[in-house]
Amino acid sequence: MPTAEASSPHIVTPTLPAGGRGLDELRAHDPELADILLGEAQRQASCLQLIAGENFTSPAVLTALGSPLANKYAEGYPGHRHHAGCELVDLAERLAVERATRLFGAAHANVQPYSGSSAVLAAYAALLVPGDTVLAMSLAHGGHLTHGSESNFSGRWFRIAGYGVTRGETFEEGGLIDYEQLRDLAHRHRPKAIVCGGIAYPRHIDYAAFREIADDVGAYLIVDAAHTLGLVAGGAAPNPVPYADVVCATTHKTLRGPRGGLVLCGADLAQRIDRAVFPFSQGGPHMHAVAAKAAALAEAARPEFALYAHQVVANARTLAGALAAQGVRIATGGTDTHLIAADVSALGVTGMRARGLCAAAGIVLDKYTLPYDTEPCTAGSGIRLGTASVTTQGMREEQMPQVADLIVRALREERGLAGEVAELVEAFPPYPG
């Protein structure tokens, strides 16, 4: 068989990725790119990964993502495609849909959204027309860009009313959704849809309260469970499906699947949701990602995943407690999820400075502008972090005090921490073997 080198240096013989083989082959043909990919794999395995929306997806998911399904055009839905040759990808999509509906108890699932943002766009497009009023968590209090930012389709095409979180007597007592304010705003604005779910809300959301308020004013309820869907799958967070008209989510955060989105809804809205995804807002689905979602959903249905989801929360609680013990103020005084939002101003740094100091130590987390923040949003007073990645790596409550200690020492501008961070992290390889 002719090798790529023998025929032409520019023609790469396609090979299936099997373990690291794909990367090794890439190194022979494109060392410049291979170095970047291998360097990133090394960075992920040697730094402390605390970005709240990230995770380490499984080898099965990576294999599906690197499979020849990436080559296939499949505009439409299983059985009704605009292209020939879709028999096998149809099976993959049906599998993903069946697994999603079974896992979350939904009548219908659409697994085609390219991302969480595309899932929200589809939900808005299915239920609303431009000019309709939407009541969503305000961006300054932790709402997502797609819920109503002026720089996004949502804020451009819809009238947005924003609800917030409580101020609280103390920082730790505040930060909770103000359901009374929500009810007042719903009655005042009479929105066509109410949206809940945010980027940094660490507590369980009272979906029954949202449903009741939505019913009071005749609004649809859209739950954006982008962050928490994996915790729901593992039984570590309440399931929004029985309460919401539409649930949108990502598949790559706590669910630990490929980058992508997912929409769940009742049978009544199934056709509207499907049309809002394709042809309204997307073209051909990424069938390799759809197959990878099927792989992730199968993994998320296993008993090990329930243990994982509960461990994620136990780790976050322990980490929040350990940070609080060292003077970091934790929003809402703790967490019910993977997510911690914290005020670092007592340590004399802004969120932006904290992010930089941590990065220099190999600790990767985000800055966060807190509700009622007094710093400009470019700096922020807060940090936002999550335990989904470190838990996938196998860290337990036992390791969390050390993680907190490393973060606080980095914030106190102690230098030379990277070695200590790498030593901890490298004991928990994300892809052992």
Ligand X SMILES: *Cc1c(COP(=O)(O)O)cnc(C)c1O
Between 227 and 288, name the residue whose CB sits nearer to ligand X: 227
Report CA-CA distances (Å) from 415 to 37, 340, 354, 410. Answer: 28, 24, 13, 7
Between 81 and 144, name the residue whose CB sits nearer to ligand X: 144
Q: In whole angstroms, how close is the CB of 309 to ligand X at the nearest point?
A: 17
Between 137 and 421, name the residue whose CB sits nearer to ligand X: 137
Residue 199 sits in the site that holds ligand X (CB under 6 A): yes
Q: In whole angstroms, how close is the CB of 139 to ligand X at the nearest point?
A: 11
Residue 149 sits in the site that holds ligand X (CB under 6 A): no
The Cα–Cα gap between 293 and 403 comes to 31
Q: What tokens does 131 get?
A: 């000019």
Report CA-CA distances (Å) from 136 to 160, 169, 217, 219. Answer: 7, 24, 14, 12
The Cα–Cα gap between 168 and 307 comes to 34
Distance of CA 231 to the CA centre of its chain: 11
Residue 230 sits in the site that holds ligand X (CB under 6 A): no
Between 199 and 295, name the residue whose CB sits nearer to ligand X: 199
Q: What does DSSP say about strands 366-368 and 382-386: parallel, antiparallel, or unpaired?
A: antiparallel
Which residues lie below 8 Å from residue 275, measured CB to CB, with a gap of 6+? 126
Please check if 144 is assigned to a binding site: yes
Which residue's beta carbon is nearest to the bound ligand X? 116
- N- to C-terminal Cα separation, the chain: 31
Please check if 10 is assigned to a binding site: no
Q: Of residues 78-117, which lie at the interface with ligand X (CB under 6 A)?
A: 115-117
Report CA-CA distances (Å) from 279 to 59, 282, 284. Answer: 32, 6, 9
Please check if 145 is assigned to a binding site: yes
Please check if 48 is assigned to a binding site: no
Of 153-161, 197-205, 370-378, 421-429, the window that binds ligand X (rule: CB under 6 A) is 197-205
Which residues lie below 8 Å from residue 431, measured CB to CB, with a gap of 6+? 45, 56, 59
List the x/- string, 356-395, binding to ligand X by CB under 6 A: ----------------------------------------
The position carrying tokens 């009810």 is: 183
Between 199 and 297, name the residue whose CB sits nearer to ligand X: 199
The Cα–Cα gap between 143 and 163 comes to 9
Q: Which residues pair with 249 in a beta bridge?
A: 262
Q: In whole angstroms, how close is the CB of 123 to ligand X at the nearest point?
A: 11
Q: What tokens does 382 get?
A: 């807060």
Residue 399 sits in the site that holds ligand X (CB under 6 A): no
Residue 155 sits in the site that holds ligand X (CB under 6 A): no
Q: In whole angstroms, how close is the CB of 159 to ligand X at the nearest point?
A: 20
Residue 224 sits in the site that holds ligand X (CB under 6 A): yes
Residue 337 sits in the site that holds ligand X (CB under 6 A): no
81, 189, 192, 227: residue in contact with ligand X (rule CB under 6 A): 227
* 334: three-class secondary structure by DSSP: coil
* 100: three-class secondary structure by DSSP: helix
Between 199 and 205, name the residue whose CB sits nearer to ligand X: 199
53, 191, 230, 351: residue in contact with ligand X (rule CB under 6 A): 53
Q: In whole angstroms, how close is the CB of 73 to ligand X at the nearest point?
A: 22
Residue 144 sits in the site that holds ligand X (CB under 6 A): yes
Residue 197 sits in the site that holds ligand X (CB under 6 A): yes
76, 148, 191, 198: residue in contact with ligand X (rule CB under 6 A): 198
Residues binding ligand X: what is the number (CB under 6 A)? 14
Report CA-CA distances (Å) from 254 to 15, 53, 75. Answer: 31, 7, 28
Q: State the DSSP string of 337-389.
A: SSEEEEE-GGGT--HHHHHHHHHHTTEE-EEEPPTT-SS-TTT-SEEEEESHH
Between 247 and 410, name the residue whose CB sits nearer to ligand X: 247
Residue 258 sits in the site that holds ligand X (CB under 6 A): no
The Cα–Cα gap between 257 and 292 comes to 7
Residue 202 sits in the site that holds ligand X (CB under 6 A): no
Residues classed as catalytic:
73, 75, 224, 250, 253, 259
Q: Tell me the binding residues for (6S)-5,6,7,8-tetrahydrofolate.
A: 139, 143-145
Known binding positions: 139, 143-145
Interaction site with ligand X (CB under 6 A):
53, 115-117, 120, 144, 146, 197-199, 224, 226-227, 250
